[in-house]
Amino acid sequence: MAQAGIHGLVSLVVKKWTPAKEWLVLGIVLGSLLPDADNLVVAVATVAKMPTEGIHRTFTHSLFTILFVVIVCYLVSFITKQIRWRYLGWGLGVGILLHILLDLIIWFNGVAILWPIPSWINFWQNTSVPVWFDKLMQPAEFLCFALFLYALGSAARKARTDTDYLPTLRIWTIIQAVLLVIFTVLVYTMSKGFMTIYGVAYLLSLGLVAGITIRMRKTVETAG
């Protein structure tokens, strides 16, 4: 997977070419971030000592998931008579698709793009990644989270939206930077137990960033 923060940053750029429809851009950003929440299932399987093969980059990275999400949001829109749910569905679909494409283009692992149909695609399968680089990409998640939050803050200051939340956002951004430093040290010094504490910090950070995105939806949806 590419870093979740990278997916978020790309989705913020995409909003420049997105129609001004309520919840559409919010959906794109959330759809770009949330497919990697499948790591939560990986964590639960690990704790339960169950197999983790075939979990990550499968059911949340599938074109069929996009179709499912769009249909569900259409049904909610029909029931509630609120068209913004339909726009949210389209946004989520576009965001998940962007996530899949980025994973295929800039990362070194494959994606089961048609899950549950066997469909593993990896453009980099013959590429050998140095161990030091592979390790570094784990704490780099926090760097990308920090950059995404910084970009949200910059957009809020420019648009003068969510200004009351900016001090809190600054604190969360700093925390992500601190986690980057801590886990960069730990990934090269810990021989056991690293993935456990790293996984907890990563999943909490992903949930935090998704929550902040929803909290700052006015900024997210402001035309860039």
pLDDT of residue 223: 57
User: What's the rounded Cα separation, in Å, for the pair 181 and 95?
Assistant: 29
Question: Whole-model pTM?
Answer: 0.92
What's the pLDDT tens digit per position in 118-172?
888 888 777 777 888 888 889 999 999 999 999 999 999 999 999 999 999 999 9
User: What's the rounded Cα separation, in Å, for the pair 54 and 61?
Assistant: 12
Longest CA pairwise span in the chain (Å): 55
CA angle at 119 for the pair 103 and 42, rounded to the nearest 5°? 60
What's the pLDDT tens digit per position in 18-57?
888 999 999 999 999 999 888 888 777 777 677 766 667 8
Mean residue pLDDT across the chain = 90
pLDDT of residue 61: 92
Worst-scoring range by mean pLDDT, 53-57, 87-91, 175-179, 196-200? 53-57
How many Cβ atoms from other residues are within 10 Å of residue 101's Cβ? 14
Closest CA relative to residue 11, chosen from 114, 128, 155: 155
β-strand partners of 120: 112
